[in-house]
Structure 1
Amino acid sequence: MLAIQRAPASSSGGGGGGGGFAGRRSSTSSSTPTALNRQILRSWADTRQGGGGVVGGGGSAGYLRGRQQRLSSASGAGGSKPLLSVIRSALGWGERPTAPDSKTAAGGGAVGKEGQLAEPEAPAPGVNRFASAVSPDLLTESTDSATATAVEDVEEADMRHAEEVISSIDAEHRLIELAPEPTSAEMRLREQKLAHIAGLTVPGMTANFKDHWDARMLGKGMRANHLMLCYFTVINPGSLAICKWQGKMIAIRSGEAMNRALDRDQVAVHLLPIRQWTLGLSGPTVESELKRRPNFLAEIVPDPVDIDSPFMSHEQINLLCQAGLVMTGEVVRIVSSFNNKCFVGSLSMHRSGRAALFKPRDRRVPLMLVPVHPLFMGLEVKRQLQKNVDMGLAGEAYTVAVKMVDWPSHLLRPVAEVLPLNTDVATIEGATQAILVETGIEERPFPPAALEDVAKTFYITKQDRKDREDFTDRCVVSIDPATARDLDDALHVKSHGNGCYEVGVHIADVSHFVPSESALDREARRRSTSVYLVQRVIPMLPEALSNGYCSLHPGEEKLAFSVIFQIGLKGDVQSYRFAKSIIKSCCRLSYEEAEQMLNSDEFLPSEVSSPFSGRQVRTTLRQLHQLAKKFRKERLSKAALGFSVANKLQFTCPDGVNGVPQLMKEEDAEWSHQLVEEWMLKANVAAAETLVKEAPDVALLRRHPPPRDPRGLAETLVSLARVVVESAEDGAENSGNGSKAARSILQAAAGSPGNNNLAASSTEIMLKLNDFLAEQSDDPQFRSFAATLAIMQMSLAEYICTGYHPDRDSWRHFALKFPVYTHFTSPIRRYADLLVHRQLVGALSLSSPTTQQQQQQQQQQQRADQVEAQAMWCNRWRISAKRASERSSQLFYAAFLRATGPSEGFAFAKSVGRLGMEVMIPQLLFTTRLDYQRLQSQCPGLVVRRRQKACNLVFPPAGSCPHRLTLKLNFRSEVPVYLEASEDNLLQINLRIRRPECPKCAANQQDSQETAGSAPHSLSVVADSDESELEEISDTDEESGSA
């Protein structure tokens, strides 16, 4: 591991000043080329920018090409150290005298008028900025001019790819900087574990993985255009994973090719020769296809292609992939990992007795080895394993949580250690602890130092009243979930009497209570977000702040950060401004109460603070609602996303956390949700626009990239539309109502075979998708299914710093259709919002720093590298918090099913294959696979008849029904199932096939009516079909025993 130390401020850096990085290699540095690579780039960047370090104060914030001018914050000149010299020094080869290049001596930019940074002098041509691009055979001292030129010259195109790798590697380091640093005792313990693993051998678990490439080999691969940087998605551990690169798929087809990468890792993939590529993900290889059709490649690519080489141009890659070829590759470097490497699963003794075998619940994670050694498992775990062995139950497993320690190249499986859990994982609380371990979320009390930063009492001072605008005379209302206690937003509207309005969006002024870089701030940054579990919240801020001083409780004067909008006659925003303010909310409403007030003249709130009345609250609400509807209509007309997907199940625990959960009834509060959503969007956009204008190089934005593969989204939409149209043509009940938009989609997509015209325009896709979903209101289950499929095709939204993303088009939010967007409205529960508040305060000079420490903290917030690091940190924990919330809901639903028994329901078929089908329950955000063999074991006598991308399930007579039933299944079909809890896994929900209702028996009943258990209109069931009909719709043999 490379030890990184902050160097003292330089006195002769030509104004570059500030801390640089001083690196020294430890005994394990050879195994961490990532750290070495960072040191090389950082050290060289320091010398080129007048001595300022990337993380040290005052120097340049970055080294990346094209970004140096924007991120420079120093002045003067300093000597430039040649890149070759820096590389030799970092590798420990000693220093060689080299004359500096006088043309590149100038480093930092000069300070211009009004504090603006002048452009720094451009580096001289021929200077290599990327150490990894240097070939190993050139890292020797030479006076040969040709060799020197080869070392110094790297083409711009190569540089762009190389910098992308280094930028990502560096991002990993910036995340580590925000994490708590390990103590010396923890470092010694890890070294002991690694030493034990190095000598570990387990029979049947030996392997010979290739060593990961070092930084220099990465550079060569980037120049040769056969190395791709992408995210790793595991389909089946040890046999198949996929990576997406610029919308194209790269298949990793063996455990050796995966080379120890885990799901969600960022990896560098080396392309294999074209002969090993495949036609489709599961089709034949190019080599075998050439034997059948010798000229098929020539029909795709006009120029000759060497099938024994992965070297080719981007144009050739595009042509081959457009023709349906799938690239294959192997992982050669794990660039960074957002996986905390903690997992929950079962542990059983390996037959060798040297280690236990850990089987994770997550099927994407490989099996792991846990050595039978005190370093890796506690005494109690060892006793339980030995007890099972003594009882002849060596293979018996029990649930534990582990953390992966290392995966050396000589072992087939990674090595893990058992983590201690405070409770039994067989209880809800124990299972909750396991969820937190898996997601990396630490539930712990706030440290005393952080709590000391929380004021013992709070009152508004005379200075506060002098510096802030007073809105206590406005009718301010908050709308939140009924159970919420952290109220961080409120609204008011004031009519100017001429059709124009003033609207205030008031957000809790958290930055007033959380000083930057205080112990409280560091703890909030470490947590990054509040985590909402079913039974409790793990807050980002102490309760005294989140539910007390900051929360905008009614009837109390509170400090707020407000956006004041002036709305014109046409309902458009004419202007807005930000202000620190004092407000006094007069009423707190739940979404359900607000919905009643919007829809009924009879309902009024029960509690309203004087001097306002319930009628004034209702008037305020309806005026805000009318304006919000105009905003929403305008957004949707620009192809903004008009729907959302979320887990709709909510639970209460009246008998305590380990009692029987109660399922809460879902309330219809669509209008009130849209009211709040539209005004929060307006405030967030206003914050983003202000930051981009006032602080364009350090603005923290939230962007949503367009789909990496618009063709995939378009094909999904076309498939859904085709189902609706076919149902309408078949005369299915209610299906005709939603066929107009579906036919429009098919017409827009019509083109030459294999060419979907709809895929050419993401905007057109979104417009069609919104219209399509709007017409499915009569079938909410299918609407939810279609929306979920569409969302799954889209990219994830993420926080970014504008200084690290110079292309302004990359700042756009695809789903909301905003050029710039950020998060401003939830600083109590999101650290990103708190950062945005601080940036706005600094950019707009809404408060003046009074001490040197505050000035330094404000300067720190204007460092692009720090903002980018915090953005990535927030991205990481936002995903973890979301996953923990979803799994908590799944845990309580499983407990609910365990207490109440199996529940009847319907799943949608996402795909129907040869061995089984993948189904989804949209309202649970739950997807699983149903194997035909398992279905037949669950339902004796069930016959499976397969056809291409479809199948028919033939159920035998049952109970009082004498008929055989044939259920026809294809994409989008609804599958009748029982949902039941797993007996040995608290988190697992199992699906079991359910015999559909017989249409003949139902028709014969005198009191035939539609019930909750009856088949929906899209269920295709035939009673007592004759064999000839079955044969016509099935072109494969009957399956009775195995699939």
Structure 2
Amino acid sequence: MRRASDGRVIGGRLARGVRAVRRERYVRDDVYVGYHHEDVEATHRGPAGERRWDVLRPRRGADGARRIALIDSNVALHQLDALADGRVRDVVICATVMEETRARSRSSYERLREMCRDVEKRFYVFSNEHHGETYVEDVAGESANDRNDRAIRAAAAFYRRAIPVSACERVTLVTNDRANARKAREEGIDVMNVLDWMRTISDEASLTDLVVPGGGAEIPDERESKRARAAGSSSAPKFDEHLDAGSIKEGLAKGELIKGLIRTSLYNPFEAHVTNEETGESVFLSGRAAMNRAFDGDSVAIEILPESEWLRPGSKIVTSDIEDDAAATTSTDDESGGLAPETAEETDIVGAVATSAKSGVVPTGKVVGIIRRNWRERGYAASIDMGKDGKGPKATGAGFTTRVLCVPSDRRFPKIRIQTRQLEGLLDQRIVVVVDDWPADSAYPEGHYVKSLGVIGTVDAETQALLLENDVDDRPFAPAVFACVPALPWRVTEHHLAEPGREDLRDLLVCSVDPPGCKDIDDALSARELDDERIELGVHIADVTSFLHPNTAMDEEAARRGTTTYLVQRRLDMLPGALTTDICSLVGGEERLAFSAFWIVNKSTMLPDETIKPRFTKSVIKSAAALTYEQAQLRIDDATLNDDLTLSLRRLRDIARRLRKRRMENGALTLASPEVKFEMDQQSSDPLDVGMYVTRETNQMVEEMMLLANVSTAERILEAYPAAAMLRRHPIPEQKMFEPLLKTAKACGIDIDPSTNRSLAATLDAAVRPGDSYFNTLLRLQATRCMSQAVYCSSGQYAGPERMHYGLAMPLYTHFTSPIRRYADVIVHRLLSAAIGLCPRHESLESSDHVKAIADVCNIRHRNSQHAGRASVELHTLVFFRKRKIVVDARVFKVRANGLIVFVPKFGIEGPVLFHEEKNDAVLDEDAMTVTSGGKTWKIFDQVTVQVEVEQLPAHRSRLLITVVPDDTPRGEALVEAK
């Protein structure tokens, strides 16, 4: 073993105020090379007696040679989709490459690490910086990149010496860097670019299409040369060049630029808004030129235009990509037919409140720089652009690459240009494409093909697409995760009963009340009389943390998934099924571990006695019954039933009524959101019927019990850990966010006071219209959209009123009641266990920053899961209407200059009704919220009769088509032939 000095800062640079630290690095000559072949010298098999495994097992490729490939850092950073393909194996990744990848892109590094952990991939990380023959000293004046390239070449040369031809014919350095390749050849190293390397593995287009063109490839990128030729044309589209990082920083410091996230309009892909991070003010962007190659979610630098150039956001419905002449595409936003949005995040509420009441123009700007890209590494669901005629592009010839445009499923994103050799096989496919670049002289971003999801329009393919679009993982659990699950059949044992702090409550009458078909039962309830004056109320939650321990593979996976995702046809669990539906689930008639909370309720008030603190304990329970909401309601309402279970349910109902009444008196809001349920064909899995979800009083009963448990838990963990408790807060909306609601209310002659949640609740309750029972629901739908979503946070982030839950009118709130399906609840269980002295607080929960980091991930996963669930409902609604035309009642929910946005209560869908363009006689009155066309006037919330069907579009695409029909048209459905 020898010592070498190392003064490098890997992946970094020296700057003013930063001192280079010279370190000693120990190097040795017996570092394992990953290949335990008999012809490989023993020195390279690692230290004597040390256990090694045969990682590399090179097999003969398409070129007939056994090959081990070493990749450079640029390949690791930019060719991950190609590297991830199952056919790519036997790759050596130098520690130098891993370090540089980690320094430049944490997400790329994690993905590369995942490949290295996959034993089937046979990727080996070689410690080249610690081997005497591969460690290279720094050279004065040499850049960090050049030094790293030299180190990788040294490793490639060493591998060729260490592994004889008899063991492996080819040891190849894979690089797209021309200079690196040239130097490698001069040093006698076998070298290839990525595309040529892939062709030695397989010449199938499904593999070579994964290669990202360009990036310094030795073979000139075909798209670059074509773009260069196009640039010489006067008609070549051009964008303004982006400012460099230094200019952006200077502009922000001087106040000449503003920074914020760009959010593309749900209604019009050519309009966007950027909210100033410092002031919260919104800036309007109009047109692709102003958006200047920014993608939704990018962090951008904005220049405000002179006030004379300010514009007014469009008031027309945009249903196709008119500006860049795209074919109409399937869309899930509410302007083209889909499930009605629920919160401010899902609408253009920011843009709406920015509009000036006088002129309608708003502060307008343009993107001048990209601070941070938000391109999805997993890619975008898309389809090949078939053009206006629907015939699609033609392949340039067998085996040749064809350049085509792909249309993302999410119309907020522009078309993406890719190159492919398998065009004919992709025309009817939902595919995944990744964006690689968007040069200023290209009308579209450049990308590459990743994979096909299936035939467009099929439930399986579109479900895969919506999971991708919402970043929801549906991969099976890894063996290491299953290894954490107790063996089945599992039973409560004497060991569990003897655990300190766990009470035996198996004789307590407990039951659960859930939706039909529920398998992952988190909660159960009890209400027993103690005497003539008191009732003991109990909420019992699955004790998941007795099985889910920190620093295990299962806990890491649960933290990454964050939540269970519920689709129409299936459930994507946060935890393995053995836990969610068996071991942890509080199924009827089985003994289960629980975390119980108890309150003493005064019979005189039917409210918890506030002089007695809630009591928490671990327990063992045996649920007497797992009831549905309907079954529980029937028991409660049946006067002939007076058994112990029914009497317990009635006590729960009575307590819930008083709890709910108290919440309403405190200003809790009763909001509205469309919940849809499907009746599915058990054979075909097609939807047979769809309608709004019916709620019963038992739904409210369970809700009140869960709210009580969550509030009491929040108070207990905050008392124990004031700076690091996991809470759930609902921010108080800014008054300007209510302007759309106030405008609607004014047009309807209604007074709404949103100054406090109490005044908002009171005025919403009073907002009724005689003879129109649904009018109040429509107002509440609009009120819901004026508010942001509730979010998880650490108590150390906020103080006092900032921690409150606005919608529930609760000073403190958290999530405790669903640990089977929410990771935030798992964290709360761990905090509560520590707070009541059952265990020490885990080190990961000791600081506010740590809790905040967990909360941030939970927020993202919860939002993604909600969006995926809604997208699944929209997909199945579309499938349902493919065979049907249905005439149904609807309500005008918005008025536009060229049509209406209508809400269909029966199906919970919202979509556009377009006026005939040739008439062009529509008159919009935004103050009165009316629009007149063809001699007829429609007003906000008017009742209309509509026909809902599926409209077939080019390239196997479809969308919901809603048209107004005469009011005397018979209601009902007519079956149509599926297309």
TM-score bin, normalised by smaller chain: 0.5 to 0.7
Alignment-derived partner of residue 931 in structure 2: 951
Report the Cα offset of residue 651 of structure 1.
2.6
Alignment-derived partner of residue 327 in structure 2: none
Closer/same/farther in 2, CA of residues 238 and 650 from structure 1, 3 Å limit: closer
Report the Cα offset of residue 478 of structure 1.
0.3
Closer/same/farther in 2, CA of residues 947 and 455 from structure 1, 3 Å limit: closer
Closer/same/farther in 2, CA of residues 189 and 983 from structure 1, 3 Å limit: farther
Question: What is the alpha-carbon distance in structure 1 between the residues aligned to residue 176 and residue 705 of structure 2?
Answer: 50
Structure 1 residue aligned with 2:295, among 262, 267, 276? 262
Closer/same/farther in 2, CA of residues 350 and 236 from structure 1, 3 Å limit: farther
Q: Within the alignment, does 1:969 sit opposite 2:946 as a pair?
A: no
Alignment-derived partner of residue 553 in structure 1: 587
* 8 Å Cα contact 1:481/1:590 also seen in 2: yes
Report the Cα offset of residue 675 of structure 1.
0.4
Q: Within the alignment, does 1:210 sit opposite 2:196 as a pair?
A: no
Q: How does 1:845-884 map to 2 (within 5 A)?
A: 845-847=837-839, 858-884=842-868
Alignment-derived partner of residue 492 in structure 2: 460
Alignment-derived partner of residue 634 in structure 2: 596
Q: Within the alignment, does 1:248 sit opposite 2:281 as a pair?
A: yes
Alignment-derived partner of residue 676 in structure 1: 702
Q: Within the alignment, does 1:996 sit opposite 2:966 as a pair?
A: yes
* 8 Å Cα contact 1:685/1:820 also seen in 2: yes
User: SS of 2:492's equivalent?
Assistant: coil
Report the Cα offset of residue 923 of structure 1.
5.2
Could you give the per-residue CA deviations for residues 474-527 of structure 1, whole angstroms, max 9, x where no partner exists?
Answer: 111100011111111001112222432221111101111111121111122222
Question: What is the alpha-carbon distance in structure 2 between the residues aligned to residue 319 and residue 786 of structure 1?
Answer: 21
Question: What is the alpha-carbon distance in structure 2 between the residues aligned to residue 946 and residue 662 of structure 1?
Answer: 40
Aligned residues: 724
User: SS of 1:420's equivalent?
Assistant: strand
Q: Within the alignment, does 1:719 sit opposite 2:744 as a pair?
A: yes
Report the Cα offset of residue 563 of structure 1.
1.5
Alignment-derived partner of residue 951 in structure 2: 982
* 8 Å Cα contact 1:439/1:883 also seen in 2: yes
Could you give the per-residue CA deviations for residues 232-262 of structure 1, whole angstroms, max 9, x where no partner exists?
Answer: 2335777421134456321022323323332
Alignment-derived partner of residue 788 in structure 1: 781
Question: What is the alpha-carbon distance in structure 2 between the residues aligned to residue 822 and residue 480 of structure 1?
Answer: 21
Q: Within the alignment, does 1:798 sit opposite 2:791 as a pair?
A: yes
Alignment-derived partner of residue 514 in structure 1: 548
Structure 1 residue aligned with 2:310, among 266, 273, 278? 278
* 8 Å Cα contact 2:892/2:943 also seen in 1: yes
Q: Within the alignment, does 1:443 sit opposite 2:443 as a pair?
A: no
User: SS of 2:214's equivalent?
Assistant: helix
Structure 2 residue aligned with 1:827, among 819, 832, 835? 819
Alignment-derived partner of residue 319 in structure 2: none
Structure 2 residue aligned with 1:703, among 729, 736, 740? 729
Alignment-derived partner of residue 17 in structure 2: 85
Question: What is the alpha-carbon distance in structure 2 between the residues aligned to residue 173 and residue 874 of structure 1?
Answer: 22
TM-score relative to the length of structure 1:
0.63
Alignment-derived partner of residue 661 in structure 2: 633
* 8 Å Cα contact 2:456/2:957 also seen in 1: no
Alignment-derived partner of residue 915 in structure 1: 898
Could you give the per-residue CA deviations for residues 755-786 of structure 1, whole angstroms, max 9, x where no partner exists?
Answer: xxx454454234312442xx469645444433
Q: How does 1:525-544 map to 2 (within 5 A)?
A: 525-544=559-578
* 8 Å Cα contact 1:338/1:876 also seen in 2: no
Question: What is the alpha-carbon distance in structure 2 between the residues aligned to residue 676 and residue 865 of structure 1?
Answer: 33
User: SS of 2:455's equivalent?
Assistant: coil
Question: What is the alpha-carbon distance in structure 2 between the residues aligned to residue 181 and residue 319 of structure 1?
Answer: 48
Report the Cα offset of residue 1012 of structure 1.
4.6
User: SS of 2:551's equivalent?
Assistant: coil
Over the matched positions of the two proteins, sequence identity in percent amounts to: 26
Could you give the per-residue CA deviations for residues 147-173 of structure 1, whole angstroms, max 9, x where no partner exists?
Answer: xxxxxxxxxxxxxxxxxxxxxxx9x99
Closer/same/farther in 2, CA of residues 189 and 842 from structure 1, 3 Å limit: farther
Report the Cα offset of residue 904 of structure 1.
0.9
Alignment-derived partner of residue 328 in structure 2: none
Q: Within the alignment, does 1:618 sit opposite 2:650 as a pair?
A: no
Instruction: Report the AA paired with residue 721 of structure 2.
Output: A
Question: What is the alpha-carbon distance in structure 1 between the residues aligned to residue 464 and residue 783 of structure 2?
Answer: 33
Could you give the per-residue CA deviations for residues 200-232 of structure 1, whole angstroms, max 9, x where no partner exists?
Answer: 434477534433553784476156385243452
Q: Within the alignment, does 1:358 sit opposite 2:406 as a pair?
A: yes
Alignment-derived partner of residue 888 in structure 2: 905
Instruction: Report the AA paired with residue 382 of structure 1.
Output: L
Instruction: Report the AA paired with residue 254 of structure 1.
Output: G
Closer/same/farther in 2, CA of residues 577 and 231 from structure 1, 3 Å limit: farther
Instruction: Report the AA paired with residue 878 of structure 1.
Output: H
Question: What is the alpha-carbon distance in structure 2 between the residues aligned to residue 675 and residue 424 of structure 1?
Answer: 44
* 8 Å Cα contact 1:890/1:987 also seen in 2: no
Could you give the per-residue CA deviations for residues 313-336 of structure 1, whole angstroms, max 9, x where no partner exists?
Answer: xxxx99999997622233433447
Q: Within the alignment, does 1:368 sit opposite 2:416 as a pair?
A: yes
User: SS of 1:25's equivalent?
Assistant: coil
Alignment-derived partner of residue 313 in structure 1: none
Question: What is the alpha-carbon distance in structure 2 between the residues aligned to residue 653 and residue 840 of structure 1?
Answer: 44
User: SS of 2:475's equivalent?
Assistant: coil
Could you give the per-residue CA deviations for residues 636-657 of structure 1, whole angstroms, max 9, x where no partner exists?
Answer: 1222121331322323222233
Report the Cα offset of residue 178 of structure 1.
8.7
Report the Cα offset of residue 360 of structure 1.
2.1
Instruction: Report the AA paired with residue 931 of structure 2.
Output: C
Q: Within the alignment, does 1:693 sit opposite 2:726 as a pair?
A: no
More helix by share: 1
Closer/same/farther in 2, CA of residues 329 and 930 from structure 1, 3 Å limit: same
User: SS of 1:548's equivalent?
Assistant: helix
Q: How does 1:292-691 map to 2 (within 5 A)?
A: 326-331=362-367, 332-335=369-372, 337=374, 341-348=379-386, 354-372=402-420, 381-384=422-425, 399-421=430-452, 423-457=454-488, 458-466=490-498, 467=500, 468-568=502-602, 569-570=604-605, 571-574=607-610, 575-602=613-640, 615-657=643-685, 660-663=686-689, 668-691=694-717
Question: What is the alpha-carbon distance in structure 1 between the residues aligned to residue 720 and residue 9 of structure 2?
Answer: 36
Question: What is the alpha-carbon distance in structure 1 between the residues aligned to residue 175 and residue 461 of structure 2?
Answer: 27
Could you give the per-residue CA deviations for residues 724-748 of structure 1, whole angstroms, max 9, x where no partner exists?
Answer: x4xxxxxxxxxxxxxxxx3x54xxx
Report the Cα offset of residue 451 of structure 1.
0.4
* 8 Å Cα contact 2:676/2:873 also seen in 1: no
User: SS of 2:779's equivalent?
Assistant: helix
TM-score relative to the length of structure 2:
0.67
* 8 Å Cα contact 2:406/2:417 also seen in 1: yes
Question: What is the alpha-carbon distance in structure 2 between the residues aligned to residue 987 and residue 498 of structure 1?
Answer: 66
Question: What is the alpha-carbon distance in structure 2 between the residues aligned to residue 173 and residue 578 of structure 1?
Answer: 45
Question: What is the alpha-carbon distance in structure 1 between the residues aligned to residue 956 and residue 665 of structure 2?
Answer: 45
Alignment-derived partner of residue 801 in structure 2: 809
User: SS of 1:800's equivalent?
Assistant: strand
User: SS of 1:663's equivalent?
Assistant: strand
* 8 Å Cα contact 1:421/1:433 also seen in 2: no
Alignment-derived partner of residue 72 in structure 2: none
Question: What is the alpha-carbon distance in structure 2 between the residues aligned to residue 629 and residue 530 of structure 1?
Answer: 30
Report the Cα offset of residue 346 of structure 1.
3.5
Instruction: Report the AA paired with residue 980 of structure 1.
Output: E
Report the Cα offset of residue 368 of structure 1.
1.0
User: How large is the RMSD of aligned CA atoms in angstroms?
Assistant: 3.8
User: SS of 2:598's equivalent?
Assistant: strand
User: SS of 2:363's equivalent?
Assistant: strand
Closer/same/farther in 2, CA of residues 623 and 681 from structure 1, 3 Å limit: same
* 8 Å Cα contact 2:692/2:908 also seen in 1: no
User: SS of 2:869's equivalent?
Assistant: helix
Closer/same/farther in 2, CA of residues 651 and 637 from structure 1, 3 Å limit: same
Which deviates more, 448-457 or 777-786? 777-786
Question: What is the alpha-carbon distance in structure 2 between the residues aligned to residue 702 and residue 179 of structure 1?
Answer: 31
